[in-house]
Structure 1
């Protein structure tokens, strides 16, 4: 069953809740407009129901978290069972066996699987924390404060994570409080860009740089897939200059791109990898995993950890992560995602609109870039399309610094019928725009 076309979105209950939220929450957090937001009430598989009882297809996986599907039964069962026994422990003082199991499985699925020996983990709660752990680790390991990052990267919004943030709109307001240790490079989109990258690397003060941070495929930056050879260049440069190579796979990890990790497309592996989002499928838990040689640069705990948090290794999150990792380890999941991605890309490439500049991505991490004739980013069109698609029963988002890349990161087992429906609705709306019928905020 597919959603019926809707004309009154948000519904009255969502409108009421939005007004109440605006009263009590900082107005910087949730965007509120006449056609935004809906308030989620429940979700299952690839579908969401709002507070007014309307059903939607979710092509966001709720920011990439629900790769295995919303309220996926094995994850839900693990959460319920564990919450009935123990909901909180003392993660860095008196932990649970589940914490041991998560760290062990993360090692097995990363560095051990890549033939690099045992990987050691620091657990955290959110993605940006994992990135900050990685940056701290790189500094401890090298003694060098400098951080290389890439334009239009997104690594979260904590102060430490902003050192590697490529979106000026997020970092700019706080620049005066951030250390001047950043070196920004251009993220390559074509093979010819690799020569520019080599030149930029050669001009850097490597003796003062300890961390090289990147997404193997940019997520919020616009689903940008770099050319083959990109990761190899970075790996070689990092090795030559005693720099810790950090891959942020918080978004792209756990089969999102049709490989267990996106770096496996090129077969190049980092010193540290940051994971989160789909790690549990719905509970706040993340991790920084690294090769033993680098992670053991941290001093042995004398009874007080240099980096920890109250909810580190929360037993409920760990129980869900253990089950999620067990599922993700099955090679069939990656194969299914790759197949679904090919089918979705084929449908998106058939859309005929002068606004479509490019369809790109890997697996089920796909972006449709919209540009006006002449090349100007069509963020205005993309923004309006999000509201129009919501009216038609589809939850989606837009990426890129200009908000002009329509993002497709649905749950892995979204049905072909649901994908067809989504593409059909988008095709109709783009056709309406071409004929002047789509209302735009010019």
Structure 2
């Protein structure tokens, strides 16, 4: 790798150059664009981020589950360089190109199910979700969209309505799109009384039937693991039961795999862990090695319901991003990165469980593959966002990039690149343990 795979701190975090750049950014960038860790990155690769002061930081964030194949993956870089030299844009809707078609073919092949599929490409996860809703409405002739507590689906007007958490995503930005209905999810750690996945699904279905009516629902949109909501893993059986109710009632079941997709959870897609085959699946983040690309893939008869030119966008399926996606997908398959995610889980999960035994502030350890989290609570089980922020800050100071999440802002989430060297993984876990031991 061109980036040395060793943590090295030459200055305090952030260093003087990053502090200078942060001051510049405050004069140029809108205040509403938040920053988790104010270090400005100049190079990255494998499991390391190199900042403007020359510090080498361990990456447990992957740009929020984007760089699954690592930053500057060889196949991605080569494909992008070749495509940039050929052309950067024509707009697929004006004069198409084969890269777009090749990405759609790959997605049709890789996503769950052997049925005939179609795909469309856009720029971001929120765009993918909006288009999935459009397609479902066109197919069913219905309006209502059902989402779940603790779900996150984006920052556009419709996807803000679909997202559960108010601050910082929704506060002051309404009114929001209508015909969006929220029902209870399965959150095992926070159930007042333990219930099965099937029981949690029955609770959700009961709410849909009572407050919305099955005949009015165009689609149910569900993350197989709630991402921004705190890496909440529904009880086993919840996902299949919700999907089965959708089939029985002519409702389009949409799996939002924007954060869970492309090997992150130990399967190529998270819904495969329980054999769930969605009608539509929304994809982004890990799809293109860091370039902006997203997609909706699904059953041909549903995807083809929209009228000609009803779907699209000027930059959707940009040729450079498509080249990057083909390079990223080839890397995922050649290196069997879903298996690598399972290996990461086999190291991280026992470590986090042991950490929880030593530190009662850790109320829950959860996740799958290289998508793991710990939820922090006080002695009464009340969410503890203050300690969560303090632990994250302590990790940052030692050169470990970690992210927070959760409806209550009390979850530390871990998303290392699937290509991270295992010695860096162990070192990062040691830094995390030190942060807890020293608090």
Match of 2:192 in 1: none
Aligned ranges for residues 85-100 of structure 1 at < 5 Å? 85-100=86-101
Report the counterpart of residue 222 of structure 1 in structure 2. Answer: 230
Partner of 1:257: 265
2:120 counterpart residue number: 122
Gaps of 5+ in 1: 434-442
Is the partner of 1:84 in helix, strand or coil? helix
The question of 1:401 aligning with 2:400 is answered: no
Which residue does the alignment assign to 2:193? none
Aligned residue for 1:131? 129
Q: Deviations over 1:84-105 (max 9, x none)?
A: 1111122112011111111111
1:6 CA drift (Å):
6.8
Q: What is the CA-CA distance between 1:395 and the residue it aligns to?
A: 0.8
The aligned residue for residue 196 of structure 1 is 203
Match of 1:382, SS? helix
Contact 1:251 1:277 in 2 (8 A): yes
Matched, 1:322 2:326: yes
> 1:195, CA displacement in angstroms?
4.0
Partner residue of 2:343?
Answer: 339
Q: 1:69 to 1:208 in 2, by over 3 A?
A: same
SS in 1 for 2:174: helix
Cα drift, residue 147 of structure 1? 0.7
Structure 2: distance between partners of 1:345 and 1:286: 30
Write out per-residue CA displacement over residues 386-411 of structure 1, whole angstroms, 9 at most, x where no aligned residue. 22211101111111022211111100
Match of 2:368 in 1: 362
Which range moves more in the overlay, 6-15 or 192-201?
A: 192-201
Q: SS at the partner of 2:162?
A: coil
| Distance change >3 Å, CA 5–CA 42, structure 1 → 2 | closer
CA distance in 1 between partners of 2:279 and 2:47 (Å): 34
Contact kept? 1:92, 1:312, Cα under 8 Å: no
Bigger drift between 5-14 and 420-429 goes to: 5-14
Q: Identify the residue that residue 159 of structure 1 maps to in structure 2.
A: 157
Paired residue for 1:436? none
4+ aligned runs moved over 6 Å, structure 1: none
Matched, 1:78 2:86: no
2:29 maps to 25
Counterpart for residue 292 of structure 1: 300
Shift of 1:201: 3.5
TM-score after normalising by structure 1: 0.92
Of residues 133, 143, 146 in structure 1, which corresponds to 2:144? 146
Structure 2 equivalent of residue 280 of structure 1: 288
In structure 2, C-alpha distance between the alignment counterparts of 1:136 and 1:232, rounded to whole Å? 24
CA distance in 2, matches of 1:269, 1:73: 32
Does 1:16 find its partner at 2:7? Answer: no
Structure-2 separation of matches of 1:27 and 1:343: 39
In the alignment, is residue 173 of structure 1 matched against residue 172 of structure 2? yes
Name the CA distance, whole Å, in 1 between partners of 2:89 and 2:379: 55
Aligned length: 422
Q: Equivalent residue of 1:147, what SS?
A: strand
State the shift of 1:319 in Å: 0.8
Q: C-alpha offsets along residues 213-234 of structure 1, whole Å, 9 cap, x if unaligned?
A: 0101111111111122112211
Larger mean CA deviation between 305-314 and 288-297 belongs to: 305-314
Residue 330 (structure 1) shift: 4.8
> Is the 2:342–2:369 contact (alpha carbons within 8 Å) kept by the matching residues of 1?
yes
- Equivalent-residue separation in structure 1 for 2:28 and 2:336 (angstroms): 45
- 357-366 or 227-236: which moved more? 227-236
Q: 5+ unaligned residues in a row in structure 2: which ranges?
A: 189-195
Which residue pairs with 1:437 in the alignment? none
- Which residue does the alignment assign to 1:69? 70
Q: Distance in 2 between matches of 1:307 and 1:296?
A: 10
Q: TM-score, normalized by length of structure 2?
A: 0.92
Task: Give SS of 1:132's match.
Answer: helix
User: C-alpha offsets along residues 347-368 of structure 1, whole Å, 9 cap, x if unaligned?
Assistant: 1112121211111000000001
Are the structure 2 counterparts of residues 80 and 233 from structure 1 closer, same or farther at C-alpha, using a change threshold of 3 Å?
Answer: same
Q: Is the 8 A contact 1:122 1:133 kept in 2?
A: no
**Structure 2: distance between partners of 1:50 and 1:259:** 32
Among residues 359, 382, 387, which one is paired with 2:388 in the alignment? 382
Q: Please, which of 396, 410, 426 is the counterpart of residue 420 of structure 1?
A: 426
What CA distance in whole angstroms lies between the structure 1 residues aligned with 2:12 and 2:171?
37
Please report how far the alpha carbon of residue 7 of structure 1 lies from its aligned counterpart in structure 2 after TM superposition. 6.4
